[in-house]
Structure 1
């Protein structure tokens, strides 16, 4: 193993692709935060023992340390303990899970939802349950790795279309003679922050008798009037149900979203037609053969859904932060490109791996943590800082980030 892996690790290091796992913990334990410490909640961490202002997490609404979620978790531990003990189809599905699924379905306006212990598990389980040999999958070129892995596991024919190119997708769908056709896409792309045109994709799938699977990992909680996600944001379905224009047209839609990002906890769900959800429950190996998430996670998520709906100011503040950042970067005349994005994901493209790592280090030296994202996660030559905003951030913290970027640019 030494002879096999050490030379390859050295090559990986030389290419500036080596990832480093860091120890991360809140700078102050959430339960110990006082009124004067609220600016630290969800924003300031000890990273390898050093206090840093973080712009690296996907905690978009700042719920991971919210007192309501913490209280729900404590109560659930008292009621259920800490383990689920078995897979959901054996004895791991509690009343908490049942209630969570009903509340998720109601929030996104679709008939039924199925909860998975992780987003990766949802995608690599659901896609092979939906399609297989003789079928065809059409995948956006920038889809997340878990979608790509799910497609590979399905053994369906893979067709990759250029990012967001609906004309190319239409040609591929037209040419396909597959028994079943499944279009798979992120709703909000995790490294670019751009939002896909779901209505246009659904209409295209209607014309070519295809299904559409939308991964709303980075839209759920952030977009929509009550955080329902991209489908609500684009007028398809939400808390009020399916929009009149889409009645009878969403049966071909598989909606997936994760719950460890804006929802602040862990897990994921798929939602859609009851028959589709039942089939996935019966066939997805990552659901059938994995121990369920503990009920404490489900109860924490139920609290998160309530906060998402009861505190819309969090989404409004997030947009204010986004605007403040973009205006600050423009005024600072940085030598790098802040990509267009209306979401909490604000990618600052640096270019080479070495330069991205250098800028990240310069920020770290100023007490600001922004992770550098490099190939193969993003295309060659587009290494970037992935700035993740959270409703927990303050305007002053955004200003501090911009000032740190300006100092890094000045050398």
Structure 2
């Protein structure tokens, strides 16, 4: 009865969802920004990995689930983004949950932009940290909250390109604020890596900044499945080891399947080798806008 009541409330608010397959339509809602999900090069890489390693990692990566294809993926992501260290997760959602959970605790203040993805909100909640919300795209509000904090550690979480409005964060300004107040900046690049080549963090000149931590999904522009946390410098190296030891969505989850891992690695190599690819996306977007107008 409770579930039925919740369903009626959602329907009254227009919040009911469907998982029916959409066929015979023009797709303007896909996350496959670069059309790599059907690229034969990705399919071939996934097929080869499955023939060699099987269809599943078959264990947590801290047991016997780490395969050469995972290391290949992490190397390819570092080469694409200019970051020094990477750790692959089973999804972008679990990457955000694991990262914030591992960085959080009673001694950490989490500050989230009010438009961040649900995975960052859930990660902050699960971290048992004091969590505050900053006005959207206002690094002066982030500075105000950091100045008032009473914990030894602070994490600021934003998206480089927001899925809510499609606007971009001022990463340079945010990085300066975090440096001033000794905070770690977490940038979710789900809608930026691939779409903007190496991503917005690299474009902002922050790829080698150890205070900036990047998370990414491999299921959007890279056309595969999985997620990753990336960092640089000594802190990036230490963070990777910390996540291996304490990120619950890494330790207690089966590793990313070999097929998607290989496909994502191939996609990263394609994007790195073809800097014109994101430009073609912009051209097609402009064509659609002009046609609809």
What TM-score bracket applies, with the shorter chain setting the length? over 0.9
Distance 2:78 2:271 in 1: 15
Select which of 253, 272, 293 maps to 2:212: 253
> Does 2:167 align with 1:167?
no
Contact 2:80 2:271 in 1 (8 A): no
Distance 2:288 2:104 in 1: 42
- 1:7-406 equivalences in 2 (<5 Å): 7-23=5-21, 47=22, 50-223=23-196, 227-237=197-207, 242=208, 250-272=209-231, 273-326=236-289, 328=290, 399=291, 402=292
Q: Secondary structure at the match of 2:87?
A: strand
Distance 2:34 2:276 in 1: 10
- 1:8 deviates by 2.2
Distance 1:7 1:77 in 2: 45
- 1:149 deviates by 0.2
Deviations 1:177-208 (A, max 9, x none): 21101111111101211110111111001111
Q: Quick check: which has more Rg, 1 or 2?
A: 1
- 1:74 deviates by 1.6
- 1:153 deviates by 0.4
Q: Secondary structure at the match of 2:36?
A: coil
Distance 1:7 1:111 in 2: 50
- 1:316 deviates by 1.1
Root mean square deviation of aligned Cα: 1.3
Q: Number of residue pairs matched?
A: 289
1:396 maps to which residue?
Answer: none
Instruction: Please state which structure has a larger fraction of its residues in strand.
Output: 1
Deviations 1:147-185 (A, max 9, x none): 000000011111101101111111111111211011111
Higher relative contact order (CA 8 A, sep 6+): 2
Q: Secondary structure at the match of 1:120?
A: helix
Q: TM-score, normalised by structure 2?
A: 0.95
